[in-house]
Amino acid sequence: MKRIISILLAGFTIAFSAGCGTDSPVDEGGRITVSNATVWSAPNSVKIMKDLPIAEQDQSEGGLLSETPAELRFDAIRGETEGAQLMFTASENIASFDLAVNDVKTESGATLSAKQFEVLAERYIEVTTPTTSNPTTANMYAGWYPDALVPMDRYKARRDNKVTAGEHQGIWVNLNIPRDAEAGTYTGTAKLTLDDEKVDVPVTVTVRDLTIPEEVHARSAFAIWYDNIPFGETNMSEEMSSNIQEIYYWFITNKRVTGMRIPYYPSDPVSFAEAVVPYAENNMVTGYWLPYRSVKTSNPDVIGGSTFDYDYAVQLLGAMIDKNIQLREAGNESIDLFKKAYYYLDSLIDEPTADTAGKVRDCDLQITKAKQALKDRLKDYPDLYDSFIHIPHIVTTKYDETYIGSDTVGGVQTWCPTVDHFNQSGMKELIEERRNSTERESGEDFWWYTCINPQNPYPSYHIDDNLISSRTMRWMQYDLGVSATLFWNICYYRKYNFDKTTTDRNVWVDPLSWEGCNGDGQLVYPGSYYGLETPISTLRLESIREGNEDYEYLLMTERKIEEINEKHNKNYNTDKILSKFYSRIYKGVISYTDVFVFSSVRGELLDLLENLYNDEVAAMAILDKLNS
């Protein structure tokens, strides 16, 4: 049953703001009240359901969501995208709303253009059956959750920009900070229009004196089921239809997420070697799946009688070797076609069971044999040799002695359990131990993934879970040393039912995509519905992007501490220092839910990072305390 909204603003001192488009009362917390709404804001790591009282959604200590001011506040570094969330609660029906952000400037006159701000309306979807009935760290109510982020002009064009009395409405604003932006504090206003009411909302941007690396280091492999896209994109233009794979691929790439398969990937070995070159060279691309084939086998240990095709692998890897050597001889000394490559045998040994251990071993053995047969061709290129030998073979299974192997008998080379399997002591040490395994020339490695499971309290991408969990998941990944994140699909526009049938689904009204999980396998919405030539982002995808940018902060911090240790003969322990940040936002792989604490921790990390790059004396004073 839909809950009645009750927003209590009692106890606030009312004043008048000269900054508003109309004389609008402002409470002592900075919320602005006009005739038809109360305007406020929320951190970019929280979802505000439109049909629940704030007090019922607030998991912060002291109920701070009831005191957030009406503002757009950004704190970030050059070259990254930072999101902010403006909210309003309608006191009467609102027929239309809009937001326009103006230029912002520093006192010295440096300007961030209005064009750098992307204004997106939060579109809500009704959850009628929560993903789990036993949540631990989330409320997970039935009700209306914000999810799709629709460009405001398209939202207005379809006249979806209306709000019913008593409901909350969110507006998400992305700020794309140029890599050459001047560091400093920028201020300005945004104009919020609610029918005839106009409100000037303060905008503050803090650009730190830092620049994010051009290369994305938070490695990911998010599958894009290209053949599934037309089930959602039913109104594609001819041009969009002809380029749909590239459109989806580069859309998520620009969110710092890498699609598993390159667009229009050819299975012909020589053609694939040619096609993969620009992806190997692109700093935003973190990896690519290597095509494979299956072949019949008489090995009695292989359930089903099919295994990895060794001959095809030799052809494919051989073609890549030929291409890489050709490029090196032509003067491209940096090109490495193997550094980002990986095998994931999704149709052969995905989520293997005990009775398929023989197939796991045999498939892995065939991959190893193919590497061994070809590796000497790279003996004159030590860096390529190393990358080639270390091509991961991902197996979606938890760490289990059943699958431990070697180069002579096969087994699991790269373990990829679901995230919840990392919620135990000793995992960080186990990862390091297996990575240095002597049974394999390549050692072993660890990735992780989510697919339907795990569910709250573990990190997930479910619509009705906390947004903070997908954000802190990247901090956990860096902390544990997990090499990459795998995800099964970003555009599952169909519906998998409990009776194992697959049916069509209206993704705008039905969030149950797979076996009772809200939003699992769908991180974007079809843009053609709104006349767009790209998919539509979600709060969950933006949260993943934000987390991947946080990952860069952690990497930058570690690298700079290593430099200071060497330069000043110090012995700062990076793990110990960063643990002081980690411990305040999660335990194991379970995120704490106070988004204000998270914002504080992130801000403190940025303070340290800015000092590390610009004031080593101040930085070492901070490090001395954190290292104690």
* pLDDT digit string, tens, across residues 7-46: 333 333 333 333 344 456 777 678 999 999 999 999 999 9
Whole-structure pTM value: 0.94
Which backbone phi and psi does 256 adopt, to 5 degrees?
A: 65, 30
pLDDT at 140: 80
The alpha-helical segments, DSSP class H, found in 301-447 are: 310-329, 346-349, 357-374, 382-389, 427-435
pLDDT at 28: 63
Which amino acid, 489?
N
Report the Cα–Cα distance between both ends of the chain, in Å, rounded. Answer: 53
pLDDT at 20: 43
Which amino acid, 108?
S
SS3 per-residue string spanning 100-113: EECCEECCCCCEEC
Cβ neighbours of residue 463 under 8 Å, at least 6 residues apart?
Answer: 125, 127, 131, 145, 147, 511, 518, 519, 540
pLDDT at 15: 33
pLDDT at 21: 47
Sheet strand arrangement including 288-289: 288-289, 341-344, 393-395, 414-415, 445-446
pLDDT beneath 50: ranges in the chain: 1-22
Report the C-alpha gap between 48 and 534 in whole angstroms.
26
pLDDT at 3: 34
- Give the closest residue to 562 by CA, choosing from 575, 580, 549: 575
Angle of the 310-329 helix axis to the 357-374 helix axis, nearest 10: 30
